[in-house]
Amino acid sequence: MASDSDYDAAMKQIKDLQARGTTPEERSRAYQAMSAKINASSDDIMAQVKKLAEQTITTDKTFQSIRQQLIIVDNNDYKDKNGLPIAKLAPTWKKYQDRYTDLLWGARDAAIKTEAYLRDLVDVIFPVILENDSTYQDNVKDLTSFAERRNPLTSTEADDDFNKLKADVTAFVENFSHFAEDEGAKLSAEIIALQNDIKTLQKELTDLNNLVEQMGIAIGITVGAGTGGIIAAVLVLGPAAGTAIIPILVTGIAAIIGETAQLIKALTRKATVESDISHKQQEIDHLSAQQKVLQELKAKLELCADQGGDMFGRLANFSDMWANCAQDAKSLLDVIADVHTDRSVETRIMLLSDTYKTVADALAFYATYLGNYEPSSDK
pLDDT 10s digits, 277-291: 888 888 888 788 888
Place 120 in a pLDDT band, splitting at 50, 70 and 90: very high
**What pLDDT is stored for residue 119 in this prediction?**
95
Ranges 13-17, 303-307, 328-332, 353-357: which has the least confidence: 303-307
Residue 226 predicted with pLDDT over 50: no
Residue 116 predicted with pLDDT over 90: yes
CA–CA dist 333, 300 (Å, integer): 51
Ranges 102-106, 119-123, 238-242: which has the least confidence: 238-242
CA–CA dist 146, 326 (Å, integer): 7
**What pLDDT is stored for residue 235 in this prediction?**
45
CA–CA dist 76, 89 (Å, integer): 12
Ranges 67-71, 148-152, 153-157: which has the least confidence: 153-157
CA–CA dist 137, 149 (Å, integer): 18
The per-residue pLDDT of the chain, averaged, comes to 80
Q: Is the dihedral of CA 104, 109, 112, 113 positive or negative?
A: negative
CA–CA dist 303, 173 (Å, integer): 10
- As to burial, measured by CB atoms within 10 angstroms (0-12 exposed, 13-18 middle, 19+ buried), residue 359 is buried
Across the chain, where does the E strand assignment appear? none
Residue 20: how many CA atoms within 13 Å on its side-chain side? 8
> What's 333's DSSP letter?
G
Q: Give 19-67 pLDDT, tens digit per residue.
A: 888 888 888 888 888 888 888 888 888 888 888 888 888 888 888 988 9
Residue 236 predicted with pLDDT over 90: no
- Residue 43's contacts (CB-CB under 8 Å, 6 or more residues apart) are none
**What pLDDT is stored for residue 228 in this prediction?**
45
CA–CA dist 350, 133 (Å, integer): 18
**What pLDDT is stored for residue 62 in this prediction?**
87
CB 158 within 8 A of CB 110: yes
